[in-house]
Amino acid sequence: MKDSSIKNRAKSLIKSEMQTVGNLVEYINDDFVSVVKLILQSRGRVVLTGIGKSANIAAKIVATMNSTGTPAVFMHAADAIHGDLGIVQPDDIIICISNSGNTPEIKVLAPLIKSRGNILIALVGNTESALAKQADYILRVTVEREACPLGLAPTNSTTAQLVMGDALAICLLEGRGFTSKDFAKYHPGGALGKKLYTKVGGLMLDDDPPCVLENQHLKEIIIEMSHKRMGAVAVVDDNNILKGMITDGDLRRMLEKSLDVEKITATQIMTPSPITTHIDQLAIEAYHLMENRNITQLIVVDNNNHYVGMIHLHDILKEGVV
């Protein structure tokens, strides 16, 4: 194939699938609304089943539902009619995915599900199929043709199934009042989860963090800053209430003024009321604060403005929050 032919074929497929997705808007009807309400009210799970490429789509929708607050399980249609139908519990709602709705396994499985008394939802392309006729509700995903030039490989049909499944999962998410905090419970690993649950208190230097009292002198300040290697120290009073902050930049600016360094105390050098973060603030929020203010460390305080630690930009980057 020529380069131009490859590009044209890819563009043609994308345009075809875009049109397919656009057509789905017309299929959001009363059955779709009823299915959302039924699942929200159900005490059981959503069992998704299919065969071939539709089974792959079913497995993906299961993963999306589970991660967004709707308990779901995958059951392969071929395995279901050979023993795995035991997965289905009395309160479960079954969504059977099939483009034609007439594959042999689906034609056997649908009446078996109905005989058990479970609600059967057909996510189907052919609304006159055996599956559609057995179903209590139909989620229509009809496509005019596949994007495959042979008209054989599932392309437009599986895209339509996937998008309809996403639409269902997101409506259920909103119906449950699912929040980012809930999302974090199901995604504790990786950068996504870390953004949602990692707090400043879990990353900060809290084991003897850099700190001096208001009346301590320059030599003591330099020793403390060098020893703790944070590039800054907090200035506190006798009750550990935060009074200010001294950075290595503050020290350099002070030395440029040719002051009597033997008499200088922390109060004379510090920046009063420095930018701080709370121990329970999300680490990603602290990162954005540092990024916006062009600083590399933040003092961490509690509800009473007690100094509890210090967090450095590198701590957040090392953890993989960003």
Estimate to the nearest angstrom the gap between the alpha carbon of 36 and the chain centroid. 22
Q: 3-state DSSP call for residue 125?
A: coil
Task: List the one residue out of 55, 63, 155 whose CA is nearest residue 106.
Answer: 55
227 annotated as ligand-binding: no
What whole-number distance in Å separates Cα of residue 211 and Cα of residue 193? 32
Q: What are the start-end ranges of the H helices in the chain?
A: 3-23, 30-41, 53-67, 77-80, 104-115, 130-134, 156-175, 180-186, 190-197, 218-228, 248-255, 266-269, 283-293, 313-319
Q: State residue 35 phi and psi, 5-degree precision.
A: -65, -45
- 28-46 burial, b at 16+ Cβ within 10 Å, e below that, comes to eeebbeebbeebeeeebbb
Structure tokens at 310: 């210090």
From residue 315, give the alpha-carbon distance in Å to each of 122, 203, 235, 300, 318: 50, 6, 21, 13, 5
Please report the DSSP string for 237-296 in residue order: -TT-BEEEEEEHHHHHHHHTTT--TTT-BHHHHSEES--EEETTSBHHHHHHHHHHHT-S
CA angle 87, 88, 90 (to 5 degrees): 140
Structure tokens at 85: 């139908």
Q: What is the CA radius of gyration of the chain?
A: 30
Known binding-site residues equal 76
Known binding-site residues for Zn(2+) equal 76
